Structures are given as C-alpha cells and as structure tokens.
C-alpha cells in the first residue's frame, strides 16, 4: 500500500489529483494521502481537504486524507511526494506580473522577469524539502509540478543531488488530448515525440503506419480546429510560414517568443483594464468561486469550473506517472528529466522536457535528435538562461540575477531591466532570504 504526500495541499487543483488517483486505484493501491500546507494556506487546505475526503468516501476505496502543517510528520516513509505549492500565494504572482508590466515588459507566471522570480522564491523551498526527504523518505519519488517546473526540477537534480525526481506539466497532456481529433484520429493511433524545455518544447506526430502527420495537424489548426491551448494563454496564431518550415508543433508558450509583440500588447491591454487585470488577478476570482463550491458538504466530485484554470488535466500526468513507476508500466509520458543525449544540442546532464518511458527506475528519455538552427539557437539560449536563474536562486548573487535578466528574451536589456530586478527584489524580500 502506497503513501502519497502532496505539498501545497491547499491548492484548488487537489480534487483533480484525487480524481486521478481514484481512477487508477487498481493499478496504484493507495493507503493514505497526506496534504501539507503552511499557516497561510491552512483554511484553503481544510476546505479542499474535506472535499478530498468526501471524494474518497464516495468511491469504493478506503483511503484516509490527512491534513497537516508539519511537513516532516507527513514525509515520514512516504513513497511518492508531489509538489504543487506557490510560495507567497497568488499575491506574489500578481506582483510578478504587475511590476514588469508597469515597465512595459511581459508579466507572466513562468516567462520573463516574473518566471525568474517565481524560481527565486521556489528553489530554496524545494531544496529544503529534498533535505527532509533524504532523512525521512530516502526511497521516495519526487513528482514536481511547482512552477517554473523545468527549473525547479533541474535545481533538485543539480543542487539537491536528488535523482529520483520527475517534473510535469499539463501542456503536453492538453495537446495529446485535443490534436488527434483534428485529423480524425484517436490518441492510441498516434505516436508523439516531444523535446525541448518546460513551456518551451516542440513536438512531432506519426500515425499508426509510421507516416509523419505533423503537417496535417498544423494545417487542421489553421482551419480553426482546437489544438488544446491552455486556458491561460491568449490565442495569437503562429505565422503559418514559420511552422511550415519548422515542421514541428511549438507548445502554446512559444507564442510569447514567436509573437512577442502581440502577446505583450495583449497582456498590457488587460493589465491596463481595471475590469480585467493580470491573469493572476483573474485567477484569484476563479479560485474564490472554486472554494465556495468546495465548501458544499454535498459536493463529492471535481466541479466543471476547474476547467477555467490553465493547469486543468495536470493531475492526469501526475497520477499516470506515479502509477507507471509503481507498476513498472513503461508508458509514454512527457516529463522533465535528465537529458542523457535525447536532445544532443544540450548537455547530457541538464534537464529537458521530453517524451519518455516511465517505469520502476524512473524516466528514460527517448532520443529526439538534433534540432535545426532556429530551434537550436532558442533552446541553447533558454537553457543557459535557466542555468543562470538557478545559480542565482541558490547563491543569491545579484550579478548572476542580472545575467539571467539580460539573457532573458522577454526583458529588454538596460536600465529598466535593472530597475525591474531591484523592484521585484524589494517586493518579494520576505520570500528571498538568499538575496
């Protein structure tokens, strides 16, 4: 019987995670689930934790959901630890968005200056979780969702020296859920190959005869078919000529780079509209609605409204990964894991987001091969930017933080870059003991 620990248990996504575990119970017989949160999230955890217990009580399975603010108590003898916490909660995200926007730069949860600061706040916490795990559950797997998921996962491997870690994201899941029907196929008829970084990967698709169908999906999307773009990303189309030449499907987040001008304009328009505000401000509203629903003692299943969140279906990846490790199923899942040559344009020991087979020994990245110059250039720039961010997050070195800012394509280099960095350092002081 399996013990699961979820750190950041007060998240509004927790019911989705429960649904995923209930669905897979035969393959993954869970005995207990421990939700862990902090004082600031206690009330949220109590509401969503009661809801989680009702979901299990309505199922045929006997599983107890424990709630605690004592992380170490929860981690004792855990088999799988999932992380979905948000250091500083949504108020910190809103600062990550509003401060860069106020200087005319992109303010976004995982991209640009905001994404860098989310890493700065999160990496010290994840490393302290790893230290606890070394002591309390040295054989457990760490399944990370906490954003920026790629950098946080890489920091666990590189600075935490913890190998049993897998990073996840819902973006590949959404693409694989929606794209097959754009060409009249089902997912099990297709073979997907992903490679790149978290929120910066591309993919190719093949049919049951081994013929590549990537271009057919691209064409179908330009005919208006739904390719599974997450709810949090504005639907600015890619240039078709670019994709026809690239011959790969970029992930939804690539539009912040390939259509930077339009995405920034869209973000600034919402930022300047008092009725709308930034994505974080909009999410605050959705979250409040969700918690009102969760309070209903008769609600014992995941509500529809969760689909308004950009991360919908993320727990499918989490539960599928855990079940595949536990039962050594070797299923194809897109994960952040050690490169090991799958993407030869990047170092073998860095983290990449790739198609992998997931079994008892973890993830085996599937070889993708060399990229063309345009993608290779982007990828190497972004990976090295990530390295600078992680190093600054660990050391608190101001010069290294500035290096990351100047390298990041969302931050025009110059006086304003330094001003945004300084302002964010002050705004988040409470959560940045390393600086």
Could you say which of 30, 81, 169, 306 contacts Mn ion (CB under 5 A)? 169
Given CA atoms 315, 47, 7, 288 in this order, what sign does their dihedral have? positive
Name which of ligand NAD, ligand G6P, Mn ion, none residue 366 binds, using a CB cut-off of 5 to 8 Å depending on partner kind: none
Q: Which two tokens stand for residue 301?
A: 């299943």
7 binds ligand NAD (CB under 6 A): yes
Residue 431 annotated among the catalytic residues of the structure: no
> Residue 79 or 109: which CB sits closer to ligand G6P?
109
CB 409 within 8 A of CB 260: yes
255 binds ligand NAD (CB under 6 A): no
> Residue 169 or 335: which CB sits closer to Mn ion?
169
Question: Which one-letter DSSP state was computed for residue 118?
Answer: H
CB 88 within 8 A of CB 431: yes
Taking the C-alpha atoms of residue 153 and residue 148, their distance in angstroms, rounded to an integer, is: 8
Taking the C-alpha atoms of residue 130 and residue 134, their distance in angstroms, rounded to an integer, is: 6
> Residue 169 or 220: which CB sits closer to ligand G6P?
169
Could you say which of 8, 20, 107, 115 contacts ligand NAD (CB under 6 A)? 8
Question: Helix or strand or coil: residue 353?
Answer: strand
- Least separation, in Å, of the C-beta of 213 and ligand NAD? 26
CA-based nearest residue to 88, from 429, 395, 386, 434? 429
Which one of 13, 253, 256, 314 is the catalytic residue? 253
Q: How many CB atoms lie within 10 A of CB 296?
A: 11
Give the DSSP H or E segment for 158: helix 149-158
Could you say which of 11, 111, 337, 403 contacts ligand NAD (CB under 6 A)? 11
- Least separation, in Å, of the C-beta of 361 and ligand G6P? 26
Taking the C-alpha atoms of residue 5 and residue 142, their distance in angstroms, rounded to an integer, is: 10
Over the window 81 to 120, marking each residue x when it contacts ligand NAD by CB under 6 A and - when it does not, the resulting string is: ---xxxx-xx------------------x-----------
> Residue 49 or 252: which CB sits closer to ligand G6P?
252
List, in order, residues 6 or more apart from 191 with CB less than 8 Å away.
205, 206, 207
Piece of 123-131, 161-169, 258-266, 328-336 that binds Mn ion (CB under 5 A): 161-169
Could you say which of 15, 20, 41, 100 contacts ligand NAD (CB under 6 A)? 41
> Residue 310 or 344: which CB sits closer to ligand G6P?
310
Could you list the residues that contact Mn ion (CB under 5 A)? Answer: 169
Which amino acids are annotated catalytic?
253
């Amino acid at each position: 019987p399996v013990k699961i620990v979820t750190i950041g248990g007060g998240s509004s996504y927790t019911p989705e995670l429960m649904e995923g575990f209930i669905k897979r119970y035969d393959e993954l017989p869970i005995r207990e689930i421990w939700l862990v949160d902090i004082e600031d999230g206690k009330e949220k955890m109590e509401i969503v934790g009661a809801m989680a217990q009702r979901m299990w009580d309505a199922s045929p399975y006997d599983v107890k959901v424990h709630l605690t603010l004592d992380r170490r108590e929860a981690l004792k003898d855990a088999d799988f630890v999932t992380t979905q916490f948000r250091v500083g909660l949504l108020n910190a995200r809103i600062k990550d968005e509003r401060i860069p926007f106020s200087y005319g730069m992109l303010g976004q949860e995982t991209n640009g200056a905001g994404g860098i600061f989310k890493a700065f706040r999160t990496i010290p916490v994840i490393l302290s979780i790893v230290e606890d795990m070394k002591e309390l559950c040295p054989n457990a797997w760490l399944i990370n969702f906490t954003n920026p998921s790629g950098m946080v996962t890489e920091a666990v491997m590189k600075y935490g020296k913890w190998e049993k870690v897998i990073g996840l994201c819902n973006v590949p899941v959404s693409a694989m859920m929606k794209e097959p029907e754009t060409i009249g196929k089902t997912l099990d008829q297709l073979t997907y190959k992903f490679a790149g970084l978290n929120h910066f990967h591309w993919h190719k698709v093949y049919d049951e005869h081994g013929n590549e169908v990537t271009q057919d999906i691209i064409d179908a999307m330009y005919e208006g078919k739904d390719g599974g773009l997450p709810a949090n990303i504005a639907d600015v189309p890619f240039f078709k000529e670019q994709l026809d030449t690239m011959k790969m499907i970029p992930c939804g987040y690539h539009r912040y780079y390939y259509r930077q001008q339009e995405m920034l304009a869209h973000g600034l328009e919402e930022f300047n509209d008092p009725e709308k505000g930034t994505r974080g401000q909009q999410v605050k509203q959705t979250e409040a609605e969700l918690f009102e629903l969760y309070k209903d003692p008769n609600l014992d299943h995941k509500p529809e409204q969760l689909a308004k969140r950009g991360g919908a279906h993320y727990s499918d990846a989490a539960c599928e990964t855990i079940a595949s490790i536990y039962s050594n199923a070797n299923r194809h899942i897109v994960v952040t894991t050690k490169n090991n040559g799958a993407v030869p344009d990047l170092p073998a020991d860095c983290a990449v987001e790739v198609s992998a087979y997931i079994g008892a020994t973890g993830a085996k990245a599937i070889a993708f091969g060399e990229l063309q110059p345009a993608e290779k250039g982007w990828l190497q720039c972004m990976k090295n930017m990530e390295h600078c961010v992680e190093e600054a997050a660990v050391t608190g070195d101001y010069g290294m933080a500035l290096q990351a800012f100047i390298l990041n394509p969302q931050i025009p280099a110059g006086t304003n870059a330094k001003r945004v960095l300084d302002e964010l350092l002050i705004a988040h002081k409470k959560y940045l003991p390393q600086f």
